C-alpha cells in the first residue's frame, strides 16, 4: 500500500487506518512518522521569537556515487527512494546545499527522529552543567531519590546515563515481542496495553529496572531508559517539564524556525530517549550548531568545552566491548553522541528506522536523513549511508 492511500478517507478505509498498533510498521510508518501528533499525546517544544532562515547555495549531490546496501555501486539520487528515505538535508558552511523530500514531506513537516532525540538531550545536558544546574559526577539519586532501589541507585551517576555505561539488565531488542523494549513502549504509551495487562507508566517502569552485575562505566551498553532517566534528572533539577527546558535553553536560542514536539505518557512523562518530532531543517540547524562548537548565529548555546569533551573523552575500549562495535568499528560514545571517525572527529546521531545527523568538521558539512525503513535497525543500510555521507563530504572538500 502506498503512503498516499493511507488516512485519506473520512473515516479511513479498513486497512488504510494508521493506529497505535501499526504506526511503526511499513507501510503505515510512511504516514505515521510525520503524523505522530495525531496518534499520541505530545508536548510542544516552542521555537523562539527570532527564527533564523538558511542562506542557500545549492549543489547537485544526486550523482555522487557510493557502495549501496546491496554491495553494488549506487548514486545518492537512486539510494534515497530505494531505502525509504523521507528527507535529506545537506548544509555546507551553514548554507543549504541540497534537500530532497519523499511523499507528503517538505521543509516544514515534523518527523519523528527516534534516538536522535538522545543526542539533543545530551547537548542540553552540557548547557545545564555549565549553568551549575546538574553535575555529571553526582549520583542519579541526588536528583531522583525514588530510584534508590533500582539500577539507578547506589553509585550510578549522571555521567553513566550520558555515556550509556549503566550496568543494567535490559536488552534493546526491537524484534522480540517478549523483550524489555515492548514492555517499555507500552509503559510510554507507544503501544496499546495487552489484554489483561496491568496499566503502567514510564517513570514506574524506569524505577523497576535492575542491574545486570556489570560495574557502571565498564562497557558501552545501549539502553533507551538511561536517556529517559536523564530527562527526568533535568526536570527534577530545573523544576520544569522537559519540553519547556529544551525550548528555553536550546531550541529557541539556536533559532529554530518551527516548533517541535515530544511524546508523553499517561502521566505526562516525556520520552527524552526517542520521542522528539521536528523538521529536517531544524534538526540540520541543531547539527550545524554542534559543528560550530555550540554556536548558533553568533550566540554560544551549547558550551564549546562540552563539544570538545565529546570529541576527546569517549571510551574506545568500552565501545569495543559493547553491542554496536561491529556496526561502527573504532567508534566511541560520549554524552549521547557517536564519534564514528575518531581521527577526524566525525560525529553522528542515530535513530531507528533510518534517522541520522552526520557532522564532518573537515568538510564543514552537516547531513540530516529522515526515513521510514522497514526494520528498526538494518546494519547494511546503516553502513551504506555512512559510506554515502562520507562520499558527499568528500565531494565538498
Mean pLDDT, each 10-residue run in order, the chain (397 residues): 80 91 95 97 95 92 97 97 98 98 95 98 98 98 98 97 97 88 96 91 97 93 97 98 98 97 97 98 98 96 98 91 89 96 93 98 98 96 97 96
Identify the pLDDT of residue 343: 87
Residues 224 and 338 in one domain: yes
Tell me the C-alpha distance between 351 and 231, whole Å.
Answer: 17
Question: 97 and 183: one domain?
Answer: yes
Nearest to 121 by CA among 270, 324, 315: 270
Q: What is the pLDDT of residue 2?
A: 67
CATH number assigned to the domain comprising residue 124: 3.40.710.10
Instruction: Kindly state whether residues 75 and 192 are assigned to the same domain.
Output: yes
pLDDT at position 102: 95
For the chain, the domain total comes to 2
Q: Establish whether 115 is a catalytic residue.
A: yes
What's the pLDDT score for residue 1? 64
Burial classification of residue 144, based on how many CB atoms lie within 10 Å of its CB (0-12 exposed, 13-18 middle, 19 or more buried): buried
Instruction: Give the C-alpha separation, 210 to 226, whole Å.
Output: 12
Q: What's residue 342's pLDDT?
A: 87
CA distance 167 to 211: 6
The C-alpha atoms of residue 269 and residue 232 are separated, in whole angstroms, by: 8
- Set of cell numbers at residue 318: 568500552
Which pLDDT value is given to residue 5? 83
pLDDT value at position 358?
Answer: 98
Give me the domain span that covers residue 387. 33-396
Is the same domain home to 80 and 68? yes
Q: Do 28 and 38 fall within a single domain?
A: no
Q: What is the pLDDT of residue 8?
A: 87
Same-domain status, 131 and 15? no
Do 10 and 115 have their domain in common?
A: no
Contacts 24+ apart (CB under 8 A), 342-345: 342/314, 342/316, 345/311
Residues 5 and 130 in one domain: no
DSSP state of 103: T
Among candidate residues 115, 150, 224, 332, the one labeled active-site is: 115
Amino acid at each position: 500500500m502506498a503512503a498516499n492511500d493511507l488516512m485519506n478517507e473520512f473515516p479511513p478505509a479498513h486497512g488504510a487506518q494508521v493506529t497505535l498498533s501499526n504506526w511503526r510498521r511499513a507501510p503505515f510508518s510512511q504516514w505515521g512518522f510525520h503524523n505522530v501528533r495525531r496518534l499520541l499525546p505530545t508536548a510542544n517544544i516552542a521555537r523562539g521569537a527570532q527564527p533564523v532562515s538558511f542562506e542557500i547555495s545549492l549543489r547537485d549531490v544526486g550523482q555522487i556515487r557510493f557502495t549501496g546496501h546491496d554491495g553494488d555501486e549506487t548514486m545518492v539520487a537512486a539510494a534515497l527512494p530505494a531505502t525509504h528515505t523521507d528527507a535529506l538535508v545537506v548544509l555546507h558552511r551553514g548554507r543549504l546545499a541540497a534537500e530532497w523530500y519523499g511523499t507528503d514531506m517538505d521543509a516544514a513537516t515534523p518527523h519523528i527522529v527516534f534516538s536522535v532525540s538522545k543526542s539533543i538531550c545530551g547537548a542540553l545536558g552540557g548547557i545545564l552543567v555549565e549553568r551549575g544546574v546538574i553535575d555529571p559526577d553526582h549520583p542519579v539519586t541526588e536528583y531522583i531519590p525514588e530510584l534508590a532501589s533500582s539500577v539507578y541507585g547506589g553509585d550510578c551517576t549522571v555521567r553513566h546515563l550520558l555515556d550509556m555505561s549503566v550496568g543494567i539488565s535490559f536488552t534493546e531488542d526491537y524484534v522480540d515481542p517478549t523483550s524489555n523494549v515492548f514492555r517499555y513502549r507500552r509503559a510510554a504509551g507507544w503501544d496499546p496495553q495487552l489484554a489483561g495487562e496491568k496499566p503502567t507508566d514510564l517513570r514506574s517502569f524506569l524505577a523497576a529496572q535492575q542491574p545486570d552485575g556489570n560495574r557502571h562505566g565498564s562497557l558501552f551498553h545501549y539502553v533507551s531508559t538511561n536517556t529517559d532517566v536523564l530527562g527526568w534528572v533535568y526536570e527534577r533539577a530545573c523544576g520544569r517539564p522537559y519540553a519547556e527546558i529544551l525550548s528555553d535553553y536550546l531550541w529557541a536560542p539556536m533559532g529554530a524556525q518551527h516548533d517541535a514536539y515530544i511524546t508523553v505518557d499517561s502521566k505526562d512523562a516525556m520520552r527524552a530517549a526517542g520521542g522528539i518530532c521536528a523538521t529536517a531543517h531544524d534538526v540540520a540547524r541543531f547539527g550545524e550548531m554542534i559543528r560550530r562548537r555550540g554556536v548558533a548565529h553568533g550566540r554560544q548555546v551549547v558550551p564549546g568545552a562540552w563539544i570538545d569533551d565529546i570529541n576527546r573523552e569517549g571510551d574506545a575500549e568500552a565501545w569495543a566491548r559493547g553491542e554496536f562495535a561491529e556496526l561502527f568499528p573504532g567508534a566511541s560514545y560520549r554524552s549521547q553522541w557517536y564519534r564514528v571517525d575518531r581521527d577526524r572527529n566525525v560525529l553522528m546521531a542515530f535513530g531507528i528506522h533510518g534517522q541520522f545527523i552526520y557532522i564532518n568538521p573537515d568538510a564543514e558539512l552537516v547531513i540530516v536523513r529522515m526515513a521510514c525503513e522497514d526494520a528498526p535497525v538494518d546494519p547494511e543500510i546503516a553502513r551504506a549511508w555512512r559510506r554515502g555521507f562520507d562520499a558527499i563530504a568528500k565531494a565538498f572538500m
